[in-house]
Amino acid sequence: MKVGVICIGDELLIGQTVNTNAAWLGQAFRKLGISVYKATTIRDVKQDIIDTVDAFFQETDLVIVTGGLGPTNDDITKATLTEYFGTSLELNKTVLAHVERFFKRRNKEMLDSNIQQAMLPKGATILHNENGTAPGMWFEQNNKTLISLPGVPYEMKSLMKDEVLPLLKSKFHVIGSFHQTVMLQGIGESFLAEKINRWEKRLYQDKLHLAYLPSPGIIKLRITSDKGIEDAGLIQSYIEEIKTDYPQYVYGLNGEDIFEVVGHLLKQNNATVGTVESCTGGGISNSFVANSGSSEYFQGGLITYSNELKHKLANVPEDILNNYGAVSEEVAKAMALGGQKVLNTDYVIAVTGIAGPNGGTEDKPVGLVWMAVATPEGVYTQHHHFGNHRGRNIEKTQLYAANFLRKLLLKIKS
Amino acid sequence: MKVGVICIGDELLIGQTVNTNAAWLGQAFRKLGISVYKATTIRDVKQDIIDTVDAFFQETDLVIVTGGLGPTNDDITKATLTEYFGTSLELNKTVLAHVERFFKRRNKEMLDSNIQQAMLPKGATILHNENGTAPGMWFEQNNKTLISLPGVPYEMKSLMKDEVLPLLKSKFHVIGSFHQTVMLQGIGESFLAEKINRWEKRLYQDKLHLAYLPSPGIIKLRITSDKGIEDAGLIQSYIEEIKTDYPQYVYGLNGEDIFEVVGHLLKQNNATVGTVESCTGGGISNSFVANSGSSEYFQGGLITYSNELKHKLANVPEDILNNYGAVSEEVAKAMALGGQKVLNTDYVIAVTGIAGPNGGTEDKPVGLVWMAVATPEGVYTQHHHFGNHRGRNIEKTQLYAANFLRKLLLKIKS
């Protein structure tokens, strides 16, 4: 089956929004063993939509269209497709009830434009959008299929997962490839490649594929078999091997969040955690709290961005701040130990660093971060030299700190 | 001038890499006043490249092609375009010298495949690539222009800036569209559309275009003129109008970050801010700290996720917690006032809510958030009913809290 993707939206063409939908759809189809054949971004212009759908129907069997389904005047996808498939709009009561509930729950009045969201093309299969008011639409014509989805990424993704993919699997005979992704933290791509060189070669000999998917602080290693689920055991044996050899890096599988992994470990140990954060300004706590159920182990934290608050909130002695400077092993340690007392938690993660782009010196350049973890057994420290980019320095600090605690909880030597 | 973008690369189609080049090129052309007309991603397949260039030459005057210029076997763009334009490869000594220097500087041996990078199509204008070994190529044929650039983002970008854009400006008389984007917080898309209905109609009468670009908690309104920069004043007058009519929603222009806007206001007032966060777990602080220079106004905060820490750190009286519950106006107020004393800042933002997906009751459903801002003049509160999605509830809480403080700093009534 040949699949094409059409993304509709001026905002994508003028670069106001980066098109992450196309990449996400590419991955979703890859998991079914289908490579997207072509992806095109076009304007919110009726004739452009018609011409592009025509062209895609020449070349592909299934076309996913995203965008242009909102309630405002610039959203013309539904009207255009309704005309293209020679049908007309009718009121869909199920969708109307959903839209009504949607507004009621938010204590908001429903407008005429919202009611219009329930006017849908006759003959199309309507796909329920739990997270929004614009449903998806599944059109079929002359053995070609077109599926129209909202452009808002989280609406598009949940519609794909809950509605489109199950229907595709049941309607078409799809033999998918099978993937597992190993999540690693704390090592760079080229260093990892050198370390796992032989493991990687054996994997190729077993006709598996490997892709390195790096992002700041994290590498995902995706292992793929074209034979599908029958290779699950083989892939699992490779995963066990890399987990055993590199427990300091491998923290999970298939997109697991390292903070959730740490949270599970804390729960297992019946232990609590708190934070004392400087350069991350609450980002470590925020990452814990992002996971539902975090109140079972996460208690709270101190954001000691100023030196004054490092002293006042976390009781870092003023002479330590003066003698060693805010970004130092001694201060990180004092923050963690001070936090342990104030927050009354078993573990405390403390970080202090120079996120940049300004504030660096020759001795303490931008990107230098000290972190400490206070545990019931004692306090441990490490430091890192990240780069010049503020956002990435903050992100990496958060991830390295989470992995530091993970390793201490599992008694893994780095 | 109509511009199209063709991105070549399997890794983009299977979603291994998000296509940031297309967005960047969209922005670069927008700055010239040109909207990219269409952007297509295709495989590294010769016939696909030829067909797509053919199709783009039907519809556009200038085509930017990225990708497929590397030294490995899967890079076929150069050979394909050389054939397409009916020319042949010849050794370019300037490029050869550059490639040699490139490897020498990195202490690496040059391979045969690297020398091949200096074999370039006769008749094409060769564009120097300071950051890599694959130069850009500028082809012209029958009044159509095609520019081939490497796919590595930083190589592509510097080639565009240093070579392509100056040449484009000198060769073509460029008149294109002009955009400005108004940033709004605190109102839903359809409610906004109803409120600004007449403004929007007049805008259309003035031959301007409007697009609504919503994301959780934020709406961007993009106003476009096809006449280019000459409509800048007209667009500005519409922006002034919406700013005057809805100062409670409009916080900035062209992608500004609301936390940065609030930071500037605090700096202007020579004021400091701190936070006491429950359901956002540090996300508000983290958003302040994301902006460089935030230490001038942001001091720190308390993350009081547990009730115990609400009492212990922010001195929320236990009887208030017991009588009203953690998610209540009274507790939000007490958190803000307690924080003001402990953190010793002029302003404190405090939030407490039920982020979900669990923990809701009939009285206090998931999505209920109370927030308070303590100011030198007194404490103010508001509450919201967001949805069921934990991540979006946290994100929206952060944005609404920032706007709440912004409005208080500017003495804007909601």
Model confidence over B322-355: pLDDT tens digits? 999 999 999 999 999 999 999 999 999 999 999 9
B94 to chain A nearest CA, in Å? 31
Chain A environment of B222 (Cβ under 8 Å)? 10-11, 16
pLDDT of residue B213: 87
Give the closest-approach CA distance of A107 to chain B in angstroms: 7
Nearest to B222 among A16, A38, A343 (CB): A16
Q: Check residue B412 and give its pLDDT.
A: 95
Residue B187's closest chain A neighbor by CA? A108
* Delimiting residues of CATH 3.90.950.20 domain(s) in chain B: 258-409
Q: Which pLDDT tens digit goes with each residue over A308-365? A: 999 999 999 999 999 999 999 999 999 999 999 999 999 999 999 999 999 899 999 9
Report yes or no: A40 and A52 within 8 Å, Cβ to Cβ. Answer: yes
How far apart (Å, rounded) are the C-alpha atoms in residues A120 and A61?
A: 23
Question: CB-side exposure of A2: number of CA atoms within 13 Å?
Answer: 13
Across the interface, which of B284, B343, B385 has its CB nearest the CB of A106?
B385
A283 pLDDT tier (thresholds 50, 70, 90) = very high
Residue B175: predicted pLDDT: 60
Instruction: Determine the number of helices (DSSP H) and then strands (DSSP E) in chain A.
Output: 17, 17
Residue B58 makes CB contacts below 8 A (sequence gap 6+) with none
CB–CB contact B390 A39 (8 Å): no
Question: What is the distance between the alpha carbons of residues B64 and B66, in angstroms, rounded to a whole number?
Answer: 7
| Predicted confidence (pLDDT) at residue A114 exceeds the cutoff of 90 | no
Closest by Cβ to B281, choosing from A211, A279, A288: A288
Is residue A163 predicted with pLDDT exceeding 90?
yes
Q: Helix (H, G, I), strand (E, B), or coil: what is residue A320? A: helix
User: For residue B144, what are the β-bridge partners?
Assistant: B141
The answer, yes or no, to whether residue A298 has pLDDT greater than 70, is yes
Token readout for B254 is: 């062209």
Mean pLDDT of B374-381: 98
Give residue A344's pLDDT.
97
Task: Note the pLDDT tens digit of each residue in A66-100.
Answer: 999 988 888 999 999 999 999 999 999 999 999 99
Q: Quick one: which of A262, A232, A217 has its CA closest to A397?
A: A217
Q: What is the pLDDT of residues B10-41, one digit of tens each?
A: 888 888 788 899 999 998 898 787 889 999 99
- Measure CB to CB from residue B16 to each of A114, A211, A292 and give the nearest one: A211
**What residues in B contact A43, CB-CB < 8 Å?**
35, 37-38
Q: Which of A22, A27, A48 has the CB atom closest to B41's CB atom? A: A22
pLDDT of residue A352: 98
Q: What is the CATH number of domain B178-253?
A: 3.30.70.600
Helix-helix angle A329-343:B307-314, to 10 degrees: 110
Residue contact A40–B38, C-beta within 8 A: yes
Residue in A11, A281, A293 closest to B286 by CB: A281
Report the chain A residue with the minimal C-alpha distance to residue B209: A74
pLDDT score, position A176:
66
Q: Which of A115-129, A188-202, B122-136 has the lowest mean pLDDT?
A: A188-202
Q: Which two tokens stand for residue A101?
A: 């509930």
CATH of domain A3-171: 3.40.980.10
Three-state secondary-structure class, residue A224: strand
Q: Compare all CA atoms of chain A with the CA of B343 and give the residue at the minimum distance.
A: A309
Which residues of A are less than 8 Å from B308 in CB distance? 299, 344
What's the CATH code, domain B258-409? 3.90.950.20
Mean pLDDT, chain A, as a whole number? 93
**Inter-chain touch A303–B282, beta carbons under 8 Å:** yes
Output b/e per residue, A39-56; b: 16+ Cβ within 10 A. Answer: bbbbbbeeebbeebbebb
* pLDDT over threshold 90, residue A14: no
Q: Where in chain B is the domain with CATH 3.40.980.10?
A: 3-171
pLDDT at B176: 63
Residues of chain A neighbouring B292 (CB-CB closer than 8 A): 355-358, 390
pLDDT of B384 above 80: yes
Specify the pLDDT at position A348: 98
CA distance A5 to A52: 10
User: B9-23, B169-183, B201-215: which has the minimum mean pLDDT?
Assistant: B169-183
In chain B, ranges of CATH 3.30.70.600 domains: 178-253
Contacts of A292 in chain B (CB under 8 A): 355-358, 390
Is residue A377 very low, low, confident or very high in pLDDT (cuts 50, 70, 90)? very high
The pair phi, psi for residue B297, each rounded to 5°, is: -130, -25
* SS3 call for A44: coil
Is residue A179 within 8 A of residue A239, CB to CB? The reply is no
- Is B286's CB within 8 Å of A280's CB? yes
